[in-house]
A = this chain, B = another copy of it.
Amino acid sequence: MDYFELYHPGLSVDCVIFGFHDNELKVLLLKMKNSKQWAVPGGFVKKQEDVDDAAIRVLKERTNIEDIYLRQFHLFGQKNRSDDSYVDSLVQDHVIREDMDSWFRQRFITVGYFALVEFSKVTPSPDQNSERCEWVPLTNIPDLILDHQEIINEALKALRNKLRFGPVGKNLLPPKFTMTELRTLYETILGEELDRRNFQRKMLSFGILDKLDETRKGGAHKAPFLYSFNEEKYNQKLIKGFDTIW
């Protein structure tokens, strides 16, 4: 396999994959072979492949799911994103073959994507250069390679921005969920508490939720009603967004 033949030079994609589980926002990370460092799932872009499609491919390979919410959020193009010492260690640790040395020593720019996935649907699988693929809580991110911490930070900013623009949740929650679960998702993404009662009033006013007749039994207390997103109205709000300031 000749990287130079196959891939667009000096270009990669990285996918910050968000999931929501145990009331925590998590990202899918790769544990690098023979290293203590972790990485955001990424890959190269084939010469005859849309950049977006490369991101979709990476996502599919790491999670085994398709058709999920995926958006480009930033291009990371600093000249010193990588340096030779990083590639030195990759070669030393036998993470990459020596004949691929010159490919990895290129200057790379990378396109950041963030994905919102339903936690339970994901089957994590590592890639060539990693030994494990795991969900990691955002509150507990380990040491990451290169500028991957910054990539995650920017992805979170983009996600927060998306939250203020339109609805979020259909891609992160199971089909049926309680109002508390939805609110906790928002609280987790925003990093702040929201008033339970006012949240419900406002969320319902958007008209994107269907209140189901079921309740979630089995909890220790009063059984909360279940809700689901109204596909049609949810998608309308996705496009039009919430109240514009102007």
- The chain A residues found within 8 Å of chain B, CB to CB, are 8-11, 45, 47-52, 72, 74-75, 77-79, 107, 109, 111, 161, 163-165, 186, 190, 194, 199, 242-246
Contacts and interface: CB of A to CB of B under 8 A. Distances in A.
B194 A11 contact: no
B78 A75 contact: no
Contacts of A242: 245
Contacts of A161: 165
Nearest to A163: B246
Given A9-B10, A10-B11, A11-B11, A111 B77 contact: yes
B11 A109 contact: yes
A107 B8 contact: yes
Contact of A51 (B51, B52, B77): B77
Nearest to A199: B246
Nearest to A190: B246
Given A243-B245, A245-B243, A79 B48 contact: yes
A88 to B, nearest CB: 20
B79 A49 contact: yes
A193 to B, nearest CB: 11
A109 B8 contact: yes
B8 A111 contact: no
Contacts of A165: 161
A79 B49 CA distance: 6
A51 B52 CA distance: 19
A244 B47 CA distance: 42
Contacts of A50: 77-79
B194 A246 contact: yes
A-B residue pairs, 9 tightest by C-beta? A51-B77, A9-B9, A75-B75, A164-B245, A50-B78, A50-B79, A164-B244, A75-B111, A48-B79
